[in-house]
Amino acid sequence: MDGDRTTPWQPTVIAGPKHGMLVTPAIAKMMLKKAKNPLFVIGPLIKDDDGLISLCKNIVEAWNLPVVATGNIYKSLTENGIKSKRYGTIEIVNLLKDPEWKGINSEGQHDLVLFIGVTYYLASQGLSSLKHFAPHLKTVTLCKYFHSNADASFPNMSDSEWTNYLEKMSKI
């Protein structure tokens, strides 16, 4: 792999003048601290990786995050002790667009949404939708790949570096 960090993982998803900001765990945690009603969206790409699910569980518990499970990961999360609500990626993005939506815990619309494990091209489209039509919230991706349509994203990186990033995310 080359050292490229902030070209979108699928380079053709570049959408225009506004490009997501690269964040380290330290900055992502600052965003989380500032958020009043954050949400964690976990997608099916980590379904078969117990290590990654465990890292996500640590993040959920450390920050007391409400969780949405997309695709077919709901059962895996339940089996691993992560309580979540199931929505399709498109469905949750559609709800997040609506400033009047009550949020998954009926505490009002979320102001920060973390994503991990959503199919890359689908996530990119969903993030584009939120970029255009949900100015009331910020998006952060914790995936191994850079997402230019997010407000903030981890860079493209190796598995070991990603694991390190996720471990840091679980330490407040």
Partner 1 sequence: MTYKKMDKKLDNDFWKTKNLSLTIGEVSIGKPKQELDEPMGPTPKPSVTDLRSWDFKLLKRYPPFYAPFCDMCCLCTYGKCDLLGKKGACGIDAEAQQARTVLLASCIGTAAHAGHGRHMLHHVIKEKGKDFPIDMGKNIDIEAPIIRTIIGKKPVTVSDLDESLSYVEEQLSHLLSACHTGQEGNALDFESKALHAGMMDDLAREVADITQIVAYDMPRGDGDEPLVELGLGTVDKDKPVVLCIGHNVAPGAEILDYVEDNDLYEDVEICGICCTAIDITRYNQAAKVIGPLSKQMKFIRSGVSDVIVVDEQCVRTDVLEEAKRNGAVVIATTDKMCLGLSDMTKEDPELIINELVNGKIDGALILEPKKVGKVAVEVAKKIAKRRESLKCLPDISEIPEIAKECTECGWCVRVCPNNRPIMDAVTSAAKGDLKKLADLYEYDMCYTCGRCEEECERNLPLVSFITKAGDHFVKNQKFKMRAGRGPVQDVEIRKVGGPIVLGDIPGVVAFVGCSNFPNGGIEIAKMAEELLKRSYIVVATGCSAMSIGEYVDEDGLTLYEKYEGIFDASGLANIGSCVSNAHISGACIKIANIFAKKPLSGNFEEVADYILNRVGTCGVAWGAFSQKAAAIAAGVNRWGIPAVLGPHSSKYRRLYLGRIDKEEMWDLNDLRTGETVKGEPAPEHLLYAAETMEEALVSTVKMCIRPNDTPKGRQLKLSNYIDLYKKYFGELPPDLELFVRTERDIPITHKKEVMDDLTSKNWTPREAPKEPSLLERK
Which residues, numbered 31-90, are part of the site for partner 1 (CB under 8 A)? 43-44, 70-72, 74-75, 78-79, 85-86, 88-90
Q: How far is the CB of 164 from partner 1 (least distance, A)?
A: 20
Helix axes 120-133, 89-97, angle to 10 degrees: 10
Among 122, 157, 163, 168, binds partner 1 (CB under 8 A): 122
Please give the single-letter amino acid code of residue 34: K
CB contact at 8 A, 66 and 104: yes
Among 11, 81, 99, 108, binds partner 1 (CB under 8 A): 11
What is the rounded CA–CA span in Å between residue 6 and residue 3?
A: 10
Nearer to partner 1, 34 or 133 (CB): 133
Would you give the DSSP letter of residue 119? -
Q: Specify the 3-state DSSP secondary structure of 124.
A: helix
Nearer to partner 1, 54 or 94 (CB): 94
Nearer to partner 1, 12 or 64 (CB): 12
- Three-state SS letters, 4-48: CCCCCCCHHHCCCCCCCEECCHHHHHHHHHHCCCEEEEECHHHCC
Nearer to partner 1, 37 or 168 (CB): 37
Nearer to partner 1, 30 or 133 (CB): 133
Q: How far is the CB of 83 from partner 1 (least distance, A)?
A: 12
Exposed / middle / buried, residue 168 (Cβ in 10 Å: 0-12, 13-18, 19+)? middle
Residues that bind partner 1 (CB under 8 A): 1-2, 9-12, 15-18, 43-44, 70-72, 74-75, 78-79, 85-86, 88-91, 93-95, 97, 101-102, 118-122, 125-126, 128-129, 131-133, 135
